[in-house]
């Protein structure tokens, strides 16, 4: 990047901009520990400058400079994603959006809140709770994840089962387009709101969102123990078809329970079978009905074992600690799959076959986020300090995705690392349409380049598949017990 432009930005934004090597290097990674040797071989992760705008006008001014000078811009908020979604691939400007924070206005009659994009879900929840309200849904990374960040990703999490995706709850957004113009976007405008959902910062910078809210109500929590995954699926279906819709439903397989028990985290100290956690929110009448639904499940079917209420409540309290398994680490690797729930038992069986084949433990847990789909996370322990072994272990992530694909699933989120599998996420006409939108909105290709639409050359699907399969073969033969 041109030194003069860097210098001008440093002068204009003062201590909200930096070109210090140390500070920039903090932005050259995300939550996933990817060995620098691998990342640097493929892309340029180190930004030339990091800027922290504090309002929409500053975002627009930075975008105008980038547009006029063809400088890549990578938006970054909570950085709680793991596919290098918010890590540069071509250096340039790293736009840290965490100062664009706060509540703009609450419309209690219309039941919406307008909020700045860098506000975290926990901050919004706290504000709303003080008014007797709550967000309709939020990610289980709510303490770090921002409203804008989740909208730019898939937007399914806790509460989606009852209230749908985040897209269905957002009325409008304010967005700064790649040329620096500011636009209010709704489902009626051109471009429409749904262009920006899951766009992963590749079409513009979202600065403000108007989001639906709900009344803060009481909750009831349940945990059920099931002997196996098939019984778990039957029970899920009965609960989904019942007259009261759960707010949230999550599950863990037996291997996950065992790993949690070894670390002292297992609900009610269990390590046999699977568990489903079900959370309801609503009126007293709805909660009474929910209790009857769960009671009748247990009475009608002796294989369904209700776990004491205190454990179910504790499980809910720990809803933001999805990474606690990492304590068995040093690191965890894994794949998150968007999977039809009807394929869940077969998926989990094949995952365990894979675990036996490679001589490792694979733990699966997830959330049922629609009546038909779940987000399933399958993880295993790895050691990032053992670079070669760690890189070979990365091939197992593809193998887990292959199992998901066999049962109608695909990667949840794209970023850089899942871009070789983009053909599994979108059918050709849909992908063609997304590429057309990208071309129309960002003809210079400066917004978060190298992500989402196609893999960089070295990661193209053929190279990726061949490379990962060879490494997986090496892992299978030489890596038992790593």
Ligand X SMILES: Cc1cc2nc3c(=O)[nH]c(=O)nc-3n(C[C@H](O)[C@H](O)[C@H](O)COP(=O)(O)OP(=O)(O)OC[C@H]3O[C@@H](n4cnc5c(N)ncnc54)[C@H](O)[C@@H]3O)c2cc1C
DSSP 452: S
Nearer to ligand X, 157 or 450 (CB): 157
474 lines the binding site for ligand X (CB under 6 A) = no
CB of residue 221 to ligand X, shortest distance in Å: 17
> Please, are residues 416 and 43 in contact by the beta-carbon 8 Å criterion?
yes
**d(Cα 249, Cα 223) in Å, to the nearest integer?**
10
Nearer to ligand X, 85 or 395 (CB): 85
Residues 114 to 153 in contact with ligand X, rule: CB under 6 A: 117, 139-141, 144-146, 148-150, 152-153
CB of residue 264 to ligand X, shortest distance in Å: 19
Residue from the set 159, 201, 277, 345 that interacts with ligand X by CB under 6 A: 201
Residue from the set 42, 63, 206, 297 that interacts with ligand X by CB under 6 A: 206
Q: How many CB atoms are located within 10 Å of the residue 328 CB?
A: 15
Nearer to ligand X, 100 or 244 (CB): 100
Residue from the set 33, 53, 72, 157 that interacts with ligand X by CB under 6 A: 157
**d(Cα 236, Cα 448) in Å, to the nearest integer?**
39
**d(Cα 134, Cα 282) in Å, to the nearest integer?**
12
Whole-angstrom Cα Rg for the chain = 23
Nearer to ligand X, 140 or 225 (CB): 140
Residues 356 to 395 in contact with ligand X, rule: CB under 6 A: none
Residues 278 to 297 in contact with ligand X, rule: CB under 6 A: none
CB of residue 437 to ligand X, shortest distance in Å: 15
Binding segment for ligand X among 34-42, 184-192, 198-206, 221-229 (CB under 6 A)?
Answer: 198-206
Residues 400 to 459 in contact with ligand X, rule: CB under 6 A: 448
CB of residue 452 to ligand X, shortest distance in Å: 8
**d(Cα 203, Cα 316) in Å, to the nearest integer?**
36
**d(Cα 194, Cα 379) in Å, to the nearest integer?**
31
What torsion do the CA atoms of 7, 11, 14, 16 make, to the nearest 10 degrees?
A: -50
Residue from the set 47, 78, 343, 366 that interacts with ligand X by CB under 6 A: 78
Burial class for 313, CB neighbours closer than 10 Å (0-12, 13-18, 19+)? middle
For ligand X (CB under 6 A), the number of binding residues is 33
Which residues pair with residue 115 across a beta bridge? 103, 209
**d(Cα 482, Cα 358) in Å, to the nearest integer?**
9
Q: What angle do CA 316, 318, 323 make, to 5 degrees?
A: 130
**d(Cα 256, Cα 325) in Å, to the nearest integer?**
8
Nearer to ligand X, 77 or 382 (CB): 77
Nearer to ligand X, 76 or 438 (CB): 76
Give the residue closest to ligand X by C-beta.
149
DSSP 308: P
Which residues pair with residue 281 across a beta bridge? 219
CB of residue 177 to ligand X, shortest distance in Å: 11
Binding segment for ligand X among 200-208, 295-303, 354-362, 462-470 (CB under 6 A)?
Answer: 200-208
**d(Cα 399, Cα 351) in Å, to the nearest integer?**
9
Burial class for 442, CB neighbours closer than 10 Å (0-12, 13-18, 19+)? buried
Nearer to ligand X, 175 or 468 (CB): 175
CB of residue 275 to ligand X, shortest distance in Å: 18
**d(Cα 278, Cα 316) in Å, to the nearest integer?**
9
Q: How many CB atoms are located within 10 Å of the residue 418 CB?
A: 27
Nearer to ligand X, 60 or 206 (CB): 206
Please state, in angstroms and as integers, the Cα–Cα distance from residue 192 to each residue in 48, 96, 184, 196, 445, following that order: 32, 25, 10, 8, 20
Residue 297: HSE in the Cβ half-sphere, 13 Å Cα cutoff? 28
Binding track, positions 2-31, relative to ligand X; x by CB under 6 A: -----------------------------x
154 lines the binding site for ligand X (CB under 6 A) = yes
Nearer to ligand X, 297 or 421 (CB): 421
Binding track, positions 79-118, relative to ligand X; x by CB under 6 A: xxx---xx----------x-------------------x-
Nearer to ligand X, 156 or 390 (CB): 156
Residues 31 to 70 in contact with ligand X, rule: CB under 6 A: 31
- Give contact residues for ligand X (rule: CB under 6 A): 31, 75-81, 85-86, 97, 117, 139-141, 144-146, 148-150, 152-154, 156-157, 200-201, 205-206, 322-323, 448
């Amino acid at each position: 990047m041109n030194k003069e432009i860097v210098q001008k930005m440093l002068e204009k934004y003062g201590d909200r901009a930096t070109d210090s090597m140390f500070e920039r290097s903090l932005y050259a990674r995300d939550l996933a520990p990817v060995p620098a040797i691998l990342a640097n071989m493929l892309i340029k992760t180190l930004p030339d400058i990091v800027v922290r705008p504090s309002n929409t006008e500053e975002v627009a001014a930075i975008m105008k400079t980038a547009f006029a000078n063809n400088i890549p811009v990578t938006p970054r908020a909570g950085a709680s994603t793991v596919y290098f979604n918010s890590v540069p691939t071509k250096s340039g400007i790293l736009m840290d959006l965490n100062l664009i924070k706060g509540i703009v206005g609450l419309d209690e009659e219309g039941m919406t809140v307008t909020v700045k994009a860098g506000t975290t879900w926990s901050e919004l929840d706290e504000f709303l709770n003080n008014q007797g309200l709550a967000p309709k849904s939020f990610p289980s990374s709510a303490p770090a994840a921002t409203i804008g960040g989740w909208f730019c990703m898939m937007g399914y999490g806790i509460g989606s089962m009852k209230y749908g995706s985040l897209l269905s709850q957002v009325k409008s957004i304010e967005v700064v387009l790649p040329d620096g113009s500011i636009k209010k976007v709704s489902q009626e405008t051109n471009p429409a709101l749904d262009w920006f959902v899951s766009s992963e910062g590749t079409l513009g910078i979202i600065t403000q969102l108007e989001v639906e809210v709900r009344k803060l109500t009481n909750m009831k929590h349940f945990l059920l123990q099931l002997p196996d995954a098939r019984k778990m699926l039957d029970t899920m279906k009965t609960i989904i078809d019942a007259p009261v819709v759960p707010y949230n439903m999550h599950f863990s397989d037996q291997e996950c329970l065992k790993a949690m028990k070894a670390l002292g985290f297992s609900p009610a100290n269990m390590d046999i079978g699977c568990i489903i956690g079900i959370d309801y929110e609503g009126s007293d009448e709805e909660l009474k009905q929910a209790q009857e639904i769960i009671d009748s499940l247990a009475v009608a079917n002796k294989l369904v074992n209700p776990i004491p209420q205190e454990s179910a409540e504790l499980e809910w309290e720990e809803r933001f600690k999805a990474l606690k398994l990492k304590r068995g680490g040093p690191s965890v690797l894994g794949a998150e799959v968007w999977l039809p729930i009807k394929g869940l038992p077969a998926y989990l069986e094949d995952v365990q076959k894979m675990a036996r084949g490679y001589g490792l433990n694979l733990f699966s847990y997830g959330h049922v986020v629609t009546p038909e789909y779940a987000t399933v996370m399958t993880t295993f322990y790895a050691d990032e300090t053992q670079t070669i072994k760690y890189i070979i272990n990365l091939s197992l992530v593809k193998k887990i995705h292959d199992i998901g694909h066999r049962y109608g699933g695909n990667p949840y989120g794209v970023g850089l690392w899942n871009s070789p599998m983009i053909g599994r996420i979108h059918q050709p006409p849909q992908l063609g349409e997304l590429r057309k939108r990208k071309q129309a909105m960002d003809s210079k290709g400066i917004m978060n380049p190298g992500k989402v639409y196609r893999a960089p050359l070295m990661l193209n699907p053929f190279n990726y598949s061949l490379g990962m399969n060879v490494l997986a073969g090496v892992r299978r033969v030489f890596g038992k017990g790593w």
